[in-house]
Amino acid sequence: MTLPADHPLSDGRTADSTLVRAYRGQRSETLPVWFMRQAGRSLPEYRQLRVGTAMLDACLDPELASEITLQPVRRHGVDAGIFFSDIVVPLKLAGVDVDIVAGRGPVLGAPIRTAADVAALAALEPDALAPITAGVARTVAELGSTPLIGFAGAPFTLAAYMVEGGPSKDHLRARALMHSDPATWDALMTWAADVTGAFLRAQVLAGTSAAQLFDSWAGSLSLADYSAYVAPYSARAISHVTDLSVPIVHFGVGTGELLAAMRDIGADVVGIDDRIPLDEGIRRLGGRVPVQGNINPALLGAPWPTLEAHVLDVIERGRSAPAHVVNLGHGVPPDTDPTVLTRVVELIHAQSAAASS
């Protein structure tokens, strides 16, 4: 299938943007930069807008989700928006009893741990995605030539929340299930892959110029377990959008040992977190794919000379990749001073342009 004629990649609005070019392995004069979790808690305008509205309600309100997505693009001058959502939104749309509890995170009404539990899960109906497609379309119309990135949680992260019933430090129940009951694990991961894949596809068809699969908890796995019990399902998830020929980014937290396997599921770009040097991550990837990362979020609160030196070091290390999209090694901390992010964007744009002239 091809993208709609009025899609930003089809009609030329974003096809030549620095972000899309970098995701396709082409370096521009200016390095593109955006930040994971750039839309949200660090912005006072976001906190004001969210008063009285629950997180999942905000995600499913097209007007609200669009405005939240646009806020950091206006404020920081970043080179992309990322659609405001949460990894459990597709679970909610598929009828799973899940809510986001303040101070804790996603919590399910009941965990999913048996074959019967998995068999009772409903498919994600296309009509349920209407709030998402409306929010994306609204945002794309406002962004013009600035690309919007689609976002979805990887199957393992969704399954981990479902089996544990909520956040967990070690995901022991999920890791035990994959070994003790492989058939139930396969059924759960297949369901999660198809739900999150459909969620991602809806965003792309509605106008996103790239798609990011985000694996929050894959870093808890060995390479052997990831390769056997997770990678095939992440590949299945992105197979929902590969026919659309949009760049696909794969990012995981604490996944330095898994980078090559994450690349091999079919991703065009691999995100590298801040636990390893960027050039070491590029080496582990064979120097063959564009990368995204990996400013240490903790240093956003450091004195400016310290942060500046770190950002410049990340830029320098990124030169060994075919192309580099500057980002954080994870998300923006909620107590980050927004003016610091704006200053980082200005530094990256000025430095990379100067280096190319």
- What single string gives the DSSP state of each residue in 64-117? HHHHHHHHHHHHH--S-EE----TTHHHHHTT--EEEETTTEEEESS---SHHH
Residue ranges of the chain with per-residue pLDDT less than 50: 356-357
User: In the prediction, which pLDDT does 1 show?
Assistant: 81
User: In the prediction, which pLDDT does 279 show?
Assistant: 97
Q: Which residues pair with 149 in a beta bridge?
A: 82, 210
- CA of 90: how far to CAs of 22, 156, 208, 264, in Å? 29, 14, 17, 25
How far from the centroid of its chain's Cα atoms is residue 22's Cα? 16
pTM over 0.75? The answer is yes
**CATH number given to 18-356:** 3.20.20.210
How far from the centroid of its chain's Cα atoms is residue 196's Cα? 12
- Decide if 73 contacts 34 (C-beta within 8 A): no
User: In the prediction, which pLDDT does 357 show?
Assistant: 39
Between CA 132 and CA 92 the distance in angstroms is 12
**Tokens standing for 265?**
């599921």
User: In the prediction, which pLDDT does 102 show?
Assistant: 83
Other CB atoms within a 10 A radius of the CB of residue 169 amount to 8
- CA of 341: how far to CAs of 24, 88, 332, 334, in Å? 25, 27, 9, 12
Nearest to 159 by CA among 202, 194, 200: 194
- Decide if 260 contacts 286 (C-beta within 8 A): yes
Between CA 198 and CA 161 the distance in angstroms is 19
> What residue segments make up the domains of the chain, in order of their start?
18-356
Between CA 341 and CA 344 the distance in angstroms is 5
User: In the prediction, which pLDDT does 355 show?
Assistant: 56
User: In the prediction, which pLDDT does 354 show?
Assistant: 54
Between CA 252 and CA 306 the distance in angstroms is 26
Nearest to 295 by CA among 249, 333, 250, 260: 333
Which helix (DSSP H) or strand (DSSP E) does residue 211 occupy? strand 210-215
